Amino acid sequence: MTTADPTPAYPTDEARWAAIERRDRAADGAFFCGVRTTGVYCRPSCSGRPLRKNVAFYDTREAARAAGLRPCLRCRPDEPIETLSYGFGETPLGLALAATSETGLALLIMGWDRAEMREDLAARFPRARLVEDDAAAGPALAALVAAIDSGRPGDLTLPLALDERGTDLQRAVWKALRDIPAGTTASYAQVARAIGRPSAVRAVAQACGANPVAVLTPCHRVVRSDGGLSGYRWGVERKQALLAREAAA
């Protein structure tokens, strides 16, 4: 099990430079780096690639500004830094990743490769500090396993609030998905009518594809109008397995 301090220590210049080289998002907020040649200060995860000889380190934004530096326009180090804690777990249908914020469950996805799943997480939350912490992710992963095992995810009480980030239409779709009874399916057109947007079938399909909470927000229950499975961002085989489990429960 991995349990990390929300702001890991980087006690030496060597450790700080190593964090910059790997663009370590867990280091954001722990220190700031100033670039003498450009006159800016950055987050450690900034995509800029300065030379080591041009970099100085600062414990705070205030110290960097006192040195005459201005904030980088690329990584925006003066913006508030949100921390997302994430962890991996195995489920009856393979590997899963859960990420939580101070508000609640921000992401619950399935996949095959840990590195690719981390990249998905980083792409969805480009300005967050990402800290691997299996203990924080544990309740959501346990809920996912229980939902898959039971075939009745809608009957389970979520262990934490949802921190859903999307447009009003997306959030309306995700709520409508949770209203589809286990053991049944709905077409994209039916979901569009359920949210009062009967002409928004394409937008409903896109919202299903952007669903941030696998299984617990059951986008796997949405099928084509002819009953065909259509796609599933976590693999059609998983969609088939989930629907079969729910039908048998």
- The 10 Å Cβ neighbour count of residue 65 is 16
Rounded Cα–Cα distance for residues 249 and 231 (Å): 23
Residues taking part in catalysis: 42, 219
Alpha carbon distances (Å) from 2 to 5, 121, 122, 136, 227: 10, 17, 18, 10, 42
